[in-house]
Amino acid sequence: MCAKKHIHLLLLVSVCLVAADKPSTQAKPDISEMPASIHAPLFQGKKPPQAGALTERVTAGMAKPAAAGVPVRNFIDEQIFGRMQRDGIPHAPLATDREFIRRVTLDLTGRIPSSADVTAFLNDAAPDRRERLVARLIESPEFADKWAYFLMDTFRANGKMMRGVSLFHSMLKDSLAADRPYDDLARSVIAASAKSNYVVAAANPIVREHVEGKPGEADHADDLRKIHQMDTHDELAILFGKVFLGMNLSCIACHDGKGHLEKVNVYLASKKRTDFFRMAAFMGNTRYIPHVEGREAKMGHFTVDDLAPGYDTKGDSMLRIKRFGGPSAPKFVLTDEAPKPGAHAREELARMLTADPQFARATVNMFWAKLMGVGIVDPYDEFDLARQDPKNVPAGWELQPSHPELLNALAADFRKNGHSLHRLFSLICNSSAYQLSARFPGEWKESYTKYYARKFVRMLSAEELHDAIATATGRPGNFGGGKRGAEGEEAPQPVGMAMQVAVPRNSGELKSFMQAFGQANRGTPARPSQPSPLQPIMLMRSPVVTDRVLAAKDSRVQRLLDSYKDDGKVVDELFLATLARAPHAEERTLATSVMARNRVEGAQNVQWALLNLVEFLYNF
For 349-399, what is each residue's pLDDT tens digit? 999 999 999 999 999 999 999 999 999 999 999 999 999 999 999 999 999
In this structure, of 419-428, 469-478, 484-493, 578-587, the range with the lowest mean pLDDT score is 484-493
Is the pTM higher than 0.85? The answer reads yes
Contact yes or no for 21/597 (Cβ under 8 A): no
Per the model's pLDDT, the better-predicted residue between 447 and 28 turns out to be 447
Dihedral sign, CA of 111, 115, 117, 122?
positive
507 pLDDT tier (thresholds 50, 70, 90): confident
Q: What confidence category does residue 508 fall into, taking pLDDT thresholds of 50, 70 and 90?
A: confident
3-state secondary structure 252-319: CCCCCCCCCCCCCCHHHHCCCHHHHHHHHHHHCCCEEEEEEECCEEEEEEEEEECCCCCCCCCCCCCC
> Mapped to the 3 state alphabet, what secondary structure does 340-354 carry?
CCCCCHHHHHHHHHH
Examine the pLDDT at 2 and tell me if it is beyond 80: no
Instruction: Express each pLDDT in 264-280 by its tens digit.
Output: 999 999 999 999 999 99
Rounded distance, CA 215 to CA 196, Å? Answer: 24
Q: Mean pLDDT over residues 589-593, rounded?
A: 96
Q: How confident is the model at residue 23 (pLDDT cuts 50, 70, 90)?
A: very low
Q: Of 20-34, 245-259, 481-495, which range is least confident?
A: 20-34
- Residue 20 Cα to chain centre, angstroms: 43
CA of 335: how far to CAs of 209, 245, 331, 356, 358, in Å?
A: 25, 13, 8, 9, 11
pLDDT at 24 over 70: no
Domain boundaries, the chain: 3-43+531-619, 180-355
Question: What are the beta bridge partners of residue 304?
Answer: 194, 288
In the three-class reduction of DSSP (H, G, I as helix; E, B as strand; rest coil), residue 36 is classed as helix
Find residue 302's DSSP bridge partners.
290
Beta bridge mates, 8: none
